[in-house]
């Protein structure tokens, strides 16, 4: 095990949707958790604080929340299955200010019958906001489950002009 590559580090940032914990490993962002997510506390326990190494991610989030950034330019390394990573890549292609249904994402990853599996992958997204799982809605246009809570999902979509 290469300690430099595998060592995790974190920082926390304030945002309009609450405090966020950003987690990095190597040169990539591997997690972004809302403060009330149990994974946030675990990430802070299992990592060392390093605000400097996560400064670019913190700055881009600040710009996003200020309304001056509509896309993120960060190295990401979400840990998941091949299918989950394919879904997360499809989520990143949903433009700012737009939404997609679970069915649309299933078709985009070449598995049109895998709507529930897409929902599961969406739910396990370890890098909230930057991998925009909040942009996925029900086929009827309804806001459906969101790990950060429907209030945050609504806020993020309103912020982006999608609602």
Report the catalytic residues: 133
d(CA 97, CA 72): 14
For residue 66, give the 3-state DSSP assignment: helix
What does DSSP assign to residue 112? T
DSSP single-letter state for residue 14: -
φ, ψ (nearest 5 deg) of residue 129: 70, -55
- Nearest CA-CA partner of 129 in 25, 23, 31, 27: 31
Alpha-helical (H) ranges within 7-111 are 38-45, 55-66, 82-92, 102-108
Among 149, 141, 156, 33, smallest CA distance to 96 is for: 156
Let me know: does 130 contact 72? Beta carbons within 8 Å: yes
């Amino acid at each position: 095990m290469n300690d430099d590559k595998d060592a995790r580090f974190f920082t926390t940032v304030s945002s309009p949707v609450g405090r966020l914990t950003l987690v990095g490993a190597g040169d990539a962002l591997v997690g972004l958790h809302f403060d009330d997510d149990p994974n946030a506390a675990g990430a802070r326990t299992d990592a060392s604080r390093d605000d400097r190494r996560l400064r670019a991610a913190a700055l881009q989030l600040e710009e996003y929340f200020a309304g001056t950034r509509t896309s993120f330019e960060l190295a990401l390394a979400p840990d998941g299955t091949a299918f989950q990573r394919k879904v997360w890549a499809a989520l990143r292609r949903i433009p700012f200010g737009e939404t997609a249904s679970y069915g649309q994402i299933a078709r985009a990853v070449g598995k049109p019958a895998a709507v529930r599996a897409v929902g599961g992958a969406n739910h396990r997204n370890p890098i909230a906001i930057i991998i925009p799982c909040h942009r996925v809605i029900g086929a009827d246009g309804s806001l459906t489950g969101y790990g950060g809570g429907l209030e945050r999902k609504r806020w993020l979509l309103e912020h982006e002009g999608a609602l």
